[in-house]
Amino acid sequence: MPSDRYAVIGHPVGHSLSPTIHARFAQQTGEDLEYSRIEPAENGFGEAATAFFSEDGRGLNVTVPFKAEARAWCDRVSDRAERAGVVNTLTLQANGWVAGDNTDGIGLVRDLTVNLDIGLAGVRILLIGAGGAARGVLEPLLGETPADILVANRTAARAEELAAEFQADGPVRGCGFDTLDHEPAFDVIINASAASLGGALPPIPAAVIARGAAVYDMMYGPRADPFLDWGRDAGAATVSDGLGMLVEQAAESFLIWRGVRPQTTAVLAALRAEQGE
Ligand SMILES: NC(=O)c1ccc[n+]([C@@H]2O[C@H](COP(=O)([O-])OP(=O)(O)OC[C@H]3O[C@@H](n4cnc5c(N)ncnc54)[C@H](OP(=O)(O)O)[C@@H]3O)[C@@H](O)[C@H]2O)c1
């Protein structure tokens, strides 16, 4: 019998570590599956996803730039993906429908609280960026009962609108970068902006970093270095890129698909060793 088929779909997707991560999960748990990459043209998501599932594909991870389109395309959406506004996991259901979910938020929270041992209850969090990644993590972050989350974005209005949407979930405000000078320092600073993609640093005053703070970039690999160096130079006690978030969101997808949650510690350590860290 052929192995169950899964894939990551994105554009570009050649760089994706998801096939490596899921191959390790499958080996560890003894699950019989194969996991590949699909890179349709930028307007080709719907056609490629339809073809994959009609040819008996079982599940897809969805990455840039298709996460919002995936939410509109699938037959039903989980509550957390509805709140997140984007879908990163598609699963074929027994009745032939494709269900959409979002595991990015829980992936970030697990990386922070379990892998990095950063307590979020009662702390002040600065979330930089107000795009899909920031939206996807707000509800799970607020679920950890921080004292306060400030969403700061290049376009202030987007941060204010995003914060307003999540007001009922906990203490969250939005602002532009220019007002950060007047804020007391933060315990956890998370870069959810795409600045690191282009090698840029968001223009944030170093005074936002409290003594002993944690600085985190959702970007992983060398492109996270400028932000993490900035955090280290400003006195952060812990700095981390988003590789752990990537592994943890993958483990949550694997759990949805296979009913078993792989252990992530060894997989994350192996990936870091391969990256020469
Ligand atoms: N580790 C993981 O598993 C994981 C998962 C999801 C996402 N991510 C990462 O998260 C990042 C954001 O993704 P996204 O989907 O949210 O992207 P997005 O929806 O395109 O949003 C981009 C955000 O970045 C801001 N931005 C872009 N360039 C900037 C710059 N030069 N300086 C300051 N702000 C800038 C934008 O501000 P404006 O509103 O002003 O345009 C916007 O808030 C990406 O680096 C992605 O790789 C990682």
Rounded average pLDDT over 240-244: 98
The protein residue whose alpha carbon is closest to atom 30 in ligand 1 is 195
What is the dihedral angle through the alpha carbons of 87, 84, 267, 227, rounded to the nearest 10 degrees? 120
- Mean pLDDT across 17-42: 98
Q: How far is the CA of 213 from the centre of ligand 1 (A)?
A: 22
Whether the pLDDT of residue 215 is over 90: the answer is yes
**The ligand 1 atom nearest the CA atom of 243:** 1
**Are 142 and 167 within 8 A, CB to CB?**
no
Percent of the chain with pLDDT over 70: 100
- pLDDT confidence bin for 138, thresholds 50/70/90: very high
Of ligand 1's listed atoms, the one at least distance from the Cα of 64 is: 15
Pocket lining: 53 vs ligand 1, CB cutoff 6 Å: no
Does residue 209 carry a catalytic annotation?
no
* Residue to mutate, 193, 216, 275, ligand 1, most ligand atoms under 8 Å from C-beta: 193
Output the pLDDT for position 198: 87
Q: Go through the domains of the chain in sequence order and give each one's CATH number.
A: 4-102+244-274 (3.40.50.10860), 118-241 (3.40.50.720)
CB atoms within 10 A of CB 217: 27
CA distance 43 to 203: 33
Task: Judge whether 150 and 127 are in contact, CB under 8 Å.
Answer: yes
The pair phi, psi for residue 7, each rounded to 5°, is: -160, 165
* Contact partners, residue 22, CB within 8 Å, separation at least 6: 6, 33, 35, 250, 254
Torsion, Cα 63 66 68 74, to 10 degrees, reads: -100
pTM metric for this prediction: 0.96
